[in-house]
Structure 1
C-alpha cells in the first residue's frame, strides 16, 4: 500500500486536467484510470469536439473566454496545437442567434450576426433559413490529444499515473482515505477527486460523503450517443468547413469537421441528446442505433447539401448530464466530485481542472457548480 496527498479517479478530460493542475502546484498526485487515458468507451476519446463561445448564460461565455486562454497555455506547454481553427455557427429558431449575440456583445467576444442570404453566400454547403451567429474564433478540439497532453504534463510535474486501475471501493480512514481496486490493490490518499464520467452513477452512492450532500446531488442521466461522419462532396470546399449548432423544432444537431480518427474526410454530425438512456456507462453496448442513423442522415440530406448523406464512419460515445446540463465541481469531507460534463464540457477541460484543483485544496467552487445550487441551465 502506498500513499498520495491527492488521488484523482478517472483520466478523461476532467480528471487529467485536475491531476495536471494539482501536480503543477506542487502537490503529490496519483491519477488512476479504469483502463487507459481517453478510453474509447468513455467520453473523452476521439479527435473532434467543438470549441465555441455562444451560450444564453453570461457566466458560461465568460468561462469559455477563460478556457480559451487555458487552452493556449496548454498548447504552449505541450509544444503542439490541440485546437484547429474553424468558424463556429449557431442558427435555427431554437438557438435564437440574436439573443446569443447580445450575450457575446456584453462579454466582448468577437462575433457577427448574419442574415440568411449573407450566410448562404458564405457557406453554400449549408441550408440556412434565418439569422446565423458566427464566432470567428471557434475551433475543433483534439479531445484525445488534449487528454494525453495533460497526462504528460502531470507526469512531468511529478504525478504518478496508474492504468488498469478501476476504483471499486473508497473507505475513510483516520488520516484520509484508502481506495481499493481489483485484485486487492489499494492506495492511501489525504484527498480524493472523483472524475469518473459515466461510471459516476455506480460509484456516487458508495462514496463516504455526507448524507445531505448525496441527497442534494443532481440526478445523473447517461446516454449512449451516436455520431456519424459524412464525406464532403468536394474536398473542403470554400475554405474550412465551420462547426454548426442547428436547432429546429424536430431536431437539435451539432456538426464539425471530423478529425484524424475519421481520416479528415468529412463532417462529424450527431443529434444532441438523441441516444439511448443507460443506468451507467457499464450498460453501454457500443452498437449504433439504426433509427438514429436514419434520422441524422435525413437531416444531412435536407440541411447539409455539401455532404454526401451516407455516413462512411460511425461511433458511439457517452454523455453524462445533470437535469440543467450544468457541471458539478463540489465536495465535502475530503472528497471532490467533478462531473458531469453534460455533453459540452470538452471546451472547458483545462479550466475545469483548475477549478477542481482549487476546490480540492480548500477553495470555494463557483456557485453554479455547487451541489444544491439553484441552476437555471446554460
Structure 2
C-alpha cells in the first residue's frame, strides 16, 4: 500500500493531521498502534480543560484560532464537543491579574472577581486569591473529538489501520518504507509522526538529519494520576479550574462520562512519576500523589467529598518550555503538541502540521526545532 502521506498516531494531533491533509486533496494512510483515542495514549476519555487563560499572548491567540475548527467538528458530530461551563484561575503562583491583562490585550471576554465575592459566587471552591473567570472556558471531549476527526479523514479517502505499531522508518528512493513491529510494511511519499509518549523510543529510528535530532528538545514523559471526587451537591455550578499555590499546581474539571458524571476530576499538574517513554507505563496510582490531591481537595474544594470514588493514570509528554514541536526535515514531520495542554488546539494543529508537511503556510517559530527555548 502506498500513499502520499503516512500519519503515525491516531490521537488528537495525528487524527487532526490526517483529516486536514485529506481536505487538501492528499492521499493518506493513518496508522495507530492500538485504536484511535486508545487508553494507552494521551487522547482518551471525555474530560480535558478548554481554556483561554495563558500568560503568553501566542497561546491565547491560538485558542481563538482553533474556534472555527471546533465549530466545524461539532457540525460534523452533530452535538457539542466543548461544554462551556466557564473556567477559574486563582492562587498566588497562577497570577490571575497577570492572566487577565493578557486576555484583555487579546480581546477575550473575562472578569476579575475579588476573593470574597468569588467565595460567595462559588461557595464550593475555597479560593485564596482574587479569581479570573472566563465564560468561554470549559471541558472538551477528547475521545469523541478523535473519533469525529478520524471519520472526517475516512470521508476524505484516508485509509485507517489499527493495531499497527511503527518500529522504524526507512528512506527508500523518493519516499519512505514504514516497518511495523510484526514485520508489515507500508510505503509513502512523506510522513507525519505524532506518537505522543511513544516518541522518545521512536525518534532515533526516524531518518531525520543528525542536526535536527541534536536540536530536538528533551521530551519528558510522566505517568500522571487523576482522581474523581463526588459532588456534595450535584446541582452546584462547577466550572473547570486551575489553582496554583505555594505547594502545588492542581487542575479540576467536571469529569463527564469518564466516571459516571458523578464528580469533579482533580489532578496535580506534573505530579506523576517520570518515565523513559509510554512503554514503561504501569497503570499504578502513586499513593503519595493521591494523598497530596486529597489534602488539596479537603482544603480548597469543600464542595467535594474528599475521598475519590475513581482514579486512573494518564500520560503527559512535555518539552522543557511546555511549547509544542511542529517541525520536520527531508519529508518527515514531527508533530508533538504535548506538554499537558495540547487538546484544546486539536483542529488547528492538524492545519499547522499540514502546512509544515506540504511546505505551505507558516508555523509559530517557537514550535520549530532549533529555536532557542528557555
Query: Does residue 323 of structure 1 match 2:323?
Result: no
Between the two proteins, the alignment pairs up a number of residues equal to 373
Q: Which of 253, 257, 276 is residue 256 of structure 1 equivalent to?
A: 253
Residue number in structure 2 paired with 1:138? 137
Provide the aligned C-alpha RMSD in A.
Answer: 0.9
* Superposed counterparts of 1:99-118, under 5 Å: 99-118=98-117
CA contact (8 A) 2:89 2:96 kept: yes
Contact 1:199 / 1:280 at 8 angstroms: preserved in 2? Answer: yes
Residue aligning to 1:337: 334
Local SS of the residue matching 1:184: coil
Kindly state the Cα deviation for residue 85 of structure 1 after the two structures are TM-superposed. Answer: 1.5
| Inter-partner Cα distance in structure 1 for 2:371 and 2:232 | 47
2:356 to 355, 359, 369: 359
Question: 2:270 corresponds to which residue?
Answer: 273
Partner of residue 167, structure 2: 168
Cα distance, 1:340 vs structure 2? 4.0
Taking structure 1 as the reference length, the TM-score comes to 0.97
Cα distance per residue 1:287-311 (max 9 Å; x no partner): 1111111110010000000000000
Alpha-carbon distance in 2 for matches of 1:373, 1:259: 38
User: Who is 1:61 aligned against?
Assistant: 60
Q: How does 1:6-45 map to 2 (within 5 A)?
A: 6-45=5-44
Q: What CA distance in whole angstroms lies between the structure 1 residues aligned with 2:259 and 2:182?
A: 37
State the alpha-carbon separation in 1 of the partners of residues 132 and 98 from structure 2: 10
CA contact (8 A) 1:78 1:153 kept: no
1:86 & 1:107 partners in 2: Cα distance? Answer: 21
Task: Report the equivalent of 1:373.
Answer: 371
Aligned to 1:150: 149
Deviations 1:302-339 (A, max 9, x none): 00000000000001000000000000000000000001
Does 2:182 align with 1:183?
yes
1:40-51 to structure 2, matched below 5 A, reads 40-51=39-50
Distance apart, 1:183 and its partner CA: 2.8
String of CA shifts for 1:187-215, please: whole Å, max 9, x gaps: 11000000000000000011100000000
Say if 2:175 and 2:187, in contact at 8 Å, map to a contact too: yes
- In 1, Cα distance between the equivalents of 2:77 and 2:120? 38
Deviation by residue 1:138-173 (Cα, 9 ceiling, x = unmatched): 121000010001001100111010000000110001
| Cα drift, residue 374 of structure 1 | 2.1
* CA–CA distance in structure 1, aligned partners of residues 366 and 173 of structure 2: 32
Aligned 8 A contact 1:220 1:340 in 2: no
For each residue in 1:100-130, what CA deviation from the matched residue of structure 2 results, as whole angstroms up to 9, or x when unmatched?
A: 1011000100000110011111100000121
Among 283, 287, 290, the residue aligned to 2:284: 287
- 2-structure distance, mates of 1:327, 1:53: 17
Q: Contact 2:110–2:134 (CA<8 Å) still a contact in 1?
A: yes
How far apart, CA to CA, are the structure 2 residues paired with 1:56 and 1:70?
23
Verify the 8 A CA contact 1:221 1:322 in the aligned structure 2: yes
Q: Which runs of 5+ in 2 are unaligned?
A: none
3-state SS of paired residue (1:168): strand
* Partner Cα separation in structure 1 for residue 299 and residue 128 of structure 2: 12
**Aligned equivalent of 2:127:** 128
SS class of match (2:70): helix
The answer on whether the counterparts of 1:86 and 1:136 sit within 8 Å (CA) in structure 2 is: yes
